[in-house]
Amino acid sequence: MTTLERSARADARTATRAAKATRPARTPRQPLSRSGKKEQRTGWAMLAPAVILLGLFILIPAVLAFVLAFTNARLISPYPATFVGLDNFARLFTDPTFFRALLNVAYFAVIVVPVQAGVALVLALLINKQVRGTTFFRTVYFLPVVTSMVVVSLLWLFMYRQDGLINVLIDRVTFGLVQGPDWLNDPSTSMPAIILMSVWQGVGFHMVIWLSGLQTIPADLYEAADLDGAAGWQRFRYITWPGLSATRSLILVTITIQALSLFTQISVMTQGGPLDSTTTVVYEAVQSGFVQQETGYASAISLVFFVLVLLISFVQRFLTREKN
Amino acid sequence: MALTQLPDAAASSPEQPAVVTVAGSGRRGTRSRRGGTTGGGRADGLSSRWSGRRRAGLGGWLLRLALAVVFAFPLLFMFVSSLKPDQQIFGDLSSVAAFLPIGNISFDNYAAVFDRVPAARFLINSIGISAITVLLGILVNSLAAFALSRMNMRGKSIILTLIIATLIVPFETLALPLVWWVNQLPSLTLDGFSLGFSKGWIDTYQVQIIPFIANAFSIYLFHQYFESIPKELDEAARMDGAGWFRIYRQVVMPLSGPAVATVAILTFLPAWNSYLWPLMVVQTEELRPVMVGVQYFFQLNVSWGEVMAYASLITLPVVALFIAFQRSFVNSIASSGVKG
Amino acid sequence: MRHAKKRLIVASVLAASLVASLAGCASAGTGTDGKNGELTLWTHNGGNTEELAAVQAVVDKYNASQDKTTVKVQAFPQSSYNDSVVAAAASGKLPCIVDIDGPNVPNWAWAKYLTPLDLSVDLDENLPSTLGKWNGDTYSVGYYDVALALFARTSVLEKAGIRVATIDEPWTKDEFDAALKALKADGTWDKPLDLGTADVGEWYPYAYSPLLQSFGGDLINRDDMQSADGALNGKKALEWAEWMQSLVTDGYVAPKSGADAALDLENNVSAIMLGGSWAAGKLSTALGDDLSVLPLPDLGEGVKIGGGSWQWGVTSGCADPEAAMDYLSFSLSPENIADVAKATATIPATDAAAALVPGFEEGGDLALFREFSKQFAELRPETPAYPFISSEFTKATQDILNGGDPQATLDKAVKAIDGNIKSNGGYTQK
């Protein structure tokens, strides 16, 4: 089964291979029989709804965004949009806020990807053991995932106040020795605060993915390890970790794409501040497009973002490919 | 998941958890699934066999409990606050009292919520929108995946590549052109018995549903799953004279329970949490979903108790759903990872 | 398997028919609003039970008063109202009558969303801040205005030896600074002054740009509305920015206050709060006679507060503008204005209406707010560039409160605003 060796990453090459692998032995280049033609038609009929919908609601808007990026289109204006060439991009690349947004997103991703993946793995390891109340714990760890990010952001806004619950907790635990910062108002703590909350909210989801990986590691490997007297760290190091290799690359890609699109938390909690310390690329695009009514400029930001995500996906694929 | 709860991530949801094709795993997973008729093949029986013997001590249990507290306490705060008057919520903010249902406790805020927001209507809308999105999502995406996985078609590798490429487009960056675009689309109208067309999808249910049905991730997930179902089954069915649609309905789909469940969950969460999109395209109050209702509470004088009550109200159904289907939620996500 | 097949077919047929029927019933409302004697009115009052009920009552009265036109109310939540309107305008789905936040009127008029008002009532009676004008035409009219004031406990001020300011003798800048210093020294309040800095959005320009004007600066040079240079980044503006920043660095003000300023004052978390007339009712219930309502300080060029609240306009795409104008004229009767003002605890737009609202009579509890509005209200600049200016000003003020370099921050905002005006051809009507 070629699928067993296949990396689960959602990239084009893998998919291509998948499709090729499933091709039957007879070559499809030879003229189609009547039943073959019918199969073609049926296949297209089955494929059509999805392809049409994706084309209508992703491809066409994406092309529109691409075109708008080269115009001075505005959300509210009595005048039609005109072609302005690369003006929007010229402005974008001289805007310090945009570079700050790139930096922030990189900061967020660099921390969140390993931390969220790591904590999720620890949780999965804890949950994977049959302990009284496993069902309960699994549910509770997953609770933040089923709660809307808008609601979660509002709740944490309260908890991050200078006199909020987080700081009360810090005060109690350290017997008043450490005074917590004003989390969201200090440029040095605002992004860490957002990161903490995001990990809290999202970690349950990746816990479940790790869990799926853990549950597929054959039990006899552990039995053999037991016979050899291996325990704890060694079991993890030599059985669990290698057994999770495909899960690892999947988690890397999913968390990265999510991290790069950081928006909702920022919009509810900090609006990019203080002093641009939490602004992100998607937030800047939404801000320019809606609040400041500069549709063309916002589209240019989107376009750059799109290209960046593509680039990063390629780099990640390249890196994981090398390891394999 | 943190970022994929972005409102309206559905169309471009970058969630792609379940396609884990873990090396060395398919062997057992596939075998046990082949044995079953219900498309089982969950590995949890397997894992509990080996892990069941490894019991955590009291320390381990306390650690789990501590973590549970960490994950539950903001939500506890939400629920407890929904029972308190505003002044007390703010008075309790700096102490443990924020988590305790003490003081002036009542359900007044809940009563007030229904005065302020047509909450029942919003809930019904969201349930309907989410349910239809999920149903059609399963149908459309599984059909596409079926064709790409099991049928002999020219150019299907290119199609799959293109479909998967749509995963990296975040919805927010498409929202604006999409608003304009959906308003150019014709919609079929039923006026008595005569069919007609009118222009524009703004302010409808369909504009909240149809753009989010086709989902590259769901297709990919189904595709991966279908690949693991032996092709001999198709051939046997074809010998019996079954057509492709019948193979889809009677052979493949009945074996794909866990993949269906996973896609259902992944489609449901963003549909339920949809927020930015309905704000932009829905004008009639009767058509709005629950998340838009959150905005109703931010008036000149905000009633925080009511905000908390509404937040609890719209979160509880999802939590209850999760608890009720707890096993299949987790197992379906987990087990689809087993499929190779 | 038979069952599975059946279920799937039933499910898909059900789903398909549902979508078809949904499409059918939802598109019934398309087409230009105002045809067939039906007008739609959009309001920002979704979730604001009292005001929505008051607006609905006016509409019901109108519908009962004649049988030519039926007006239908559609409510939106305020915080996203503008997004909804813009999306509707972009797709040609605006209703006949819309609610507009005053400062946005020139932008919408410039974009030709609105048509100039042609009413049978005399608008000269209205408070100037309840009219939306641009290019010499009146595009919108409101039932009410709101006013900003400082709220405090009289007992607290007296204990700290602070004079209770009056409308004729507001605090000077030095007095205000000294008062804050005394309150901070008392030690009861970590941040004695609550400016509501957590409330982003239109609050920033509404509440803080009048402070800038009181220093002598402004959002833009109002003579031709073509540049903010000198107004927003000149000497006076810099003084304002440095003063705002000092409020934070001296520990008087939190750069991001609590979520609810009125509740924090009620719980004695703050000593003085900058707030709107809408908070007066709640605070007066909570604090009783101890509540002091004070004018804002005079920071050099006289006391200034923001003017202009929600107003009504008629859209240019309306199929029956006469009917829409007729409704608006009807709705502006003193009785209707008074009813809305009563329900919302706002300042009635006309003297005739004010006479009908308890509290606004000479010496009444609320008369003070009407005086504030009359004497101090300053409109935000009436230019189509306003939404952009507003967002730049909000960001700049936030940055200044958070320790950004005042001059550099203001210069950056000016550059952005001037760039925006230039790229829109000066926002002049062709």
- pLDDT, one tens digit per residue, over A10-26 is 333 333 344 444 444 44
Q: What is the mean pLDDT of residues C355-380?
A: 87
ipTM: 0.81
Residues of B with CB below 8 A from A77's CB? none
Cα gap C228→C223, rounded to integer Å: 11
For residue A241, the model assigns a pLDDT of 85
Question: What chains are in contact with C, requiring at least 3 Cβ pairs below 8 Å?
Answer: A, B
Cα gap A205→A250, rounded to integer Å: 13
Strand pairing of C38-46 and C97-101? parallel
Q: What is the mean pLDDT of residues B52-77?
A: 79
CB C19 within 8 A of CB B132: yes
Name the nearest CA neighbour of B335 among B264, B258, B266: B258
Same domain, residue pair C196 and C217? yes
Asked whether the beta carbons of residue A290 and residue C83 sit closer than 8 angstroms, the reply is yes
- Residue ranges per domain, chain B? 9-23+118-338
Nearest-neighbour CA in chain A from B251: distance (Å) = 16
Residue C281 forms part of a structural domain: yes
C195 has a chain A CB within 8 A of its CB: no
Tell me: pLDDT of A277 over 80. yes
Domain count, chain C: 2
C111 has a chain B CB within 8 A of its CB: no
Which of C40, C91, C268, C347 to probe the B interface (max B CBs under 10 A)?
Answer: C91
Beta-carbon contacts of residue A115 (< 8 Å; ≥ 6 apart)? A195, A199
Q: For residue C201, with 0-12 CB atoms within 10 Å meaning exposed, 13-18 middle and 19 or more buried, which class applies?
A: middle
Question: Which of A78, A274, A287 has its CB closest to that of C255?
Answer: A274
3-state SS track over C378-404: EECCCCCCHHHHHHHHHHHHHHHHCCC
Residues of A with CB below 8 A from C425's CB? 79
* CATH ID of B9-23+118-338, from 1.10.3720.10, 1.20.20.10, 1.10.10.60, 3.40.50.300: 1.10.3720.10
B6 has a chain A CB within 8 A of its CB: yes
Same domain, residue pair C257 and C394? yes
Mean pLDDT of chain C: 87
Tell me: pLDDT of B141 over 50. yes
Q: What is the mean pLDDT of residues A136-161?
A: 86
Question: Which of B189, B200, B249 has its CB closest to that of C91?
Answer: B200
Asked whether the beta carbons of residue A150 and residue B273 sit closer than 8 angstroms, the reply is yes
**Could you read off the pLDDT of B36-55 as tens digits, one per residue?**
333 333 333 334 334 444 45
For residue C7, the model assigns a pLDDT of 46
Cα gap C315→C348, rounded to integer Å: 24
For residue B328, the model assigns a pLDDT of 56
Nearest-neighbour CA in chain C from A161: distance (Å) = 7
A243 phi and psi angles, rounded to 5 deg:
-70, -15
Question: Which of A75, A161, A273 has its CB closest to that of C90?
Answer: A75
Query: In terms of residue numbers, what domain contains C75?
Result: 35-146+308-377
Tell me: pLDDT of C202 over 90. no
For residue A36, the model assigns a pLDDT of 77
Tell me: pLDDT of C150 over 80. yes
The confidence band for C327, taking pLDDT boundaries of 50, 70 and 90, is: very high
**DSSP symbol at C170:** P
Distances (CA, A) of C405 to A191, C82, C208, C215, C419: 21, 32, 18, 19, 21
Same domain, residue pair C350 and C261? no
Question: Which of A4, A129, A301 has its CB closest to that of B56?
Answer: A129
Distance of CA B40 to the CA centre of its chain: 21
Domain spanning A88-323 has what CATH number? 1.10.3720.10
Question: Which of C200, C403, C429 has its CB closest to that of A271?
Answer: C200
**Residue C192: cis peptide before it, omega within 30 degrees of 0:** no
**Tokens 């019933």 belong to which residue?**
C25
For residue C410, the model assigns a pLDDT of 97
Same domain, residue pair C373 and C397? no
Same domain, residue pair C293 and C393? yes
Adjacent-strand bridge partners of B223: none
Asked whether the beta carbons of residue B295 and residue C77 sit closer than 8 angstroms, the reply is yes
Asked whether the beta carbons of residue A76 and residue C108 sit closer than 8 angstroms, the reply is yes
The answer for C 258-287 residues in CB contact with A (under 8 A) is: 258-259
Count H helices and E strands in chain C, helices first: 16, 15
**Could you read off the pLDDT of A22-36 as tens digits, one per residue?**
444 444 445 667 777
The confidence band for B196, taking pLDDT boundaries of 50, 70 and 90, is: low
Which of B135, B195, B202 to probe the C interface (max C CBs under 10 A)?
Answer: B202
Token pair of C224 as six digits: 């031709």
A182 has a chain C CB within 8 A of its CB: yes
Question: Which of B7, B30, B326 has its CB closest to that of A139?
Answer: B326
Which of C9, C49, C52, C263 to probe the B interface (max B CBs under 10 A)?
Answer: C263
Question: Which of B48, B164, B319 has its CB closest to that of A15?
Answer: B164
Of the residues C340, C355, C377, the one at which a domain ends = C377
The residue in chain B having the minimum alpha-carbon distance to the alpha carbon of residue C79 is: B295
CB C347 within 8 A of CB C353: no
Higher pLDDT, C329 or B340: C329
Question: Which of A57, A158, A205 has its CB closest to that of B17?
Answer: A205
Cα gap A138→C357, rounded to integer Å: 59
A292 has a chain C CB within 8 A of its CB: yes
**Could you read off the pLDDT of B212-238 as tens digits, one per residue?**
999 887 887 788 778 778 888 888 888
The residue in chain A having the minimum alpha-carbon distance to the alpha carbon of residue B265 is: A146
Q: What is the mean pLDDT of residues A73-95?
A: 86
Which of A1, A32, A51, A54 to probe the B interface (max B CBs under 10 A)?
Answer: A54
Asked whether the beta carbons of residue B26 and residue A163 sit closer than 8 angstroms, the reply is no
Nearest-neighbour CA in chain C from A66: distance (Å) = 19
Same domain, residue pair C113 and C250? no
The answer for A 121-140 residues in CB contact with C (under 8 A) is: none
The residue in chain C having the minimum alpha-carbon distance to the alpha carbon of residue B280 is: C84
Strand pairing of C305-307 and C377-379? parallel
Q: What is the mean pLDDT of residues C389-405?
A: 94
Higher pLDDT, B39 or C403: C403
CB B281 within 8 A of CB B179: yes
Tell me: pLDDT of C79 over 70. yes
Mean pLDDT of chain A: 80
Q: What is the mean pLDDT of residues C281-290?
A: 89
Asked whether the beta carbons of residue A275 and residue C108 sit closer than 8 angstroms, the reply is no
Tell me the percentage of chain B whose pLDDT exceeds 90: 16
3-state SS track over B115-181: HHCCHHHHHHHHHHHHHHHHHHHHHHHHHHHHHHHHCCCCCHHHHHHHHHHHHHCCHHHHHHHHHHH
For residue C234, the model assigns a pLDDT of 94
The confidence band for B197, taking pLDDT boundaries of 50, 70 and 90, is: low
Sign of the C-alpha dihedral computed for residues B233, B239, B245 and B249 taken in this order: negative
For residue B95, the model assigns a pLDDT of 77
Q: Report the half-sphere exposure of B249 (CA within 13 A, side-chain side).
A: 17
Same domain, residue pair C243 and C390? yes
C357 phi and psi angles, rounded to 5 deg:
-105, 120
C185 has a chain A CB within 8 A of its CB: no
**Tokens 């999109």 belong to which residue?**
B277
**DSSP symbol at B98:** G
**Could you read off the pLDDT of B239-266 as tens digits, one per residue?**
888 888 899 988 888 888 767 877 787 7
**Tokens 């995500």 belong to which residue?**
A309
What burial letters (b/e) apply to C250-272, b meaning 16+ CB within 10 Å?
Answer: eebbbbbbbbbbbbbbbbebbbb
Asked whether the beta carbons of residue A219 and residue B47 sit closer than 8 angstroms, the reply is yes
Cα gap C205→C212, rounded to integer Å: 10
CATH number for the domain spanning C219: value is: 3.40.190.10
B228 has a chain A CB within 8 A of its CB: yes
Q: What is the mean pLDDT of residues C24-40?
A: 60
Beta-carbon contacts of residue B217 (< 8 Å; ≥ 6 apart)? A10, B13, B14, B15, B16, B167, B266
Q: What is the mean pLDDT of residues C332-338?
A: 94
**Could you read off the pLDDT of A248-275 as tens digits, one per residue?**
776 777 788 788 888 888 988 888 878 9
Same domain, residue pair C180 and C263? yes
For residue C345, the model assigns a pLDDT of 84
**Tokens 């903490």 belong to which residue?**
A196
Residues constituting chain A: 324
Radius of gyration of chain A (CA): 25
Cα gap B219→A21, rounded to integer Å: 17
C21 has a chain B CB within 8 A of its CB: yes
Which of A207-216, B272-281, C225-234, C287-296 has the weakest average pLDDT?
A207-216
Same domain, residue pair C126 and C55? yes
Distances (CA, A) of A115 to A200, A256, C229: 10, 12, 47
Nearest-neighbour CA in chain A from B333: distance (Å) = 7
Tell me: pLDDT of C138 over 90. yes
Question: What chains are in contact with B, requiring at least 3 Cβ pairs below 8 Å?
Answer: A, C
Which of A9, A47, A71 to probe the B interface (max B CBs under 10 A)?
Answer: A47
Report helix angle A96-127 to A190-214, nearest 10: 40
Most confident stretch, A225-234, B138-147, B309-318: B138-147
Cα gap B125→B287, rounded to integer Å: 7
Tell me: pLDDT of B25 over 80. no
Tell me the percentage of chain A whose pLDDT exceeds 90: 20
- Residue ranges per domain, chain A? 88-323
**Could you read off the pLDDT of B284-303 as tens digits, one per residue?**
888 999 988 888 887 767 78
**Could you read off the pLDDT of C165-191 as tens digits, one per residue?**
999 999 999 999 999 999 999 999 999
C18 has a chain B CB within 8 A of its CB: yes
**Tokens 């991050």 belong to which residue?**
A160
Tally Cβ neighbours within 10 Å of residue C150.
Answer: 21
Name the nearest CA neighbour of B22 among C20, C112, A249, A283: A249
Mean pLDDT of chain B: 74
SS3 state at C42: strand
Tell me: pLDDT of B74 over 70. yes
The residue in chain C having the minimum alpha-carbon distance to the alpha carbon of residue A295 is: C90
CB A73 within 8 A of CB B168: no
Cα gap B333→A240, rounded to integer Å: 19
Same domain, residue pair C169 and C281? yes
CB C145 within 8 A of CB C346: yes
Same domain, residue pair C198 and C230? yes
A62 has a chain B CB within 8 A of its CB: yes
For residue C34, the model assigns a pLDDT of 77
For residue B326, the model assigns a pLDDT of 61
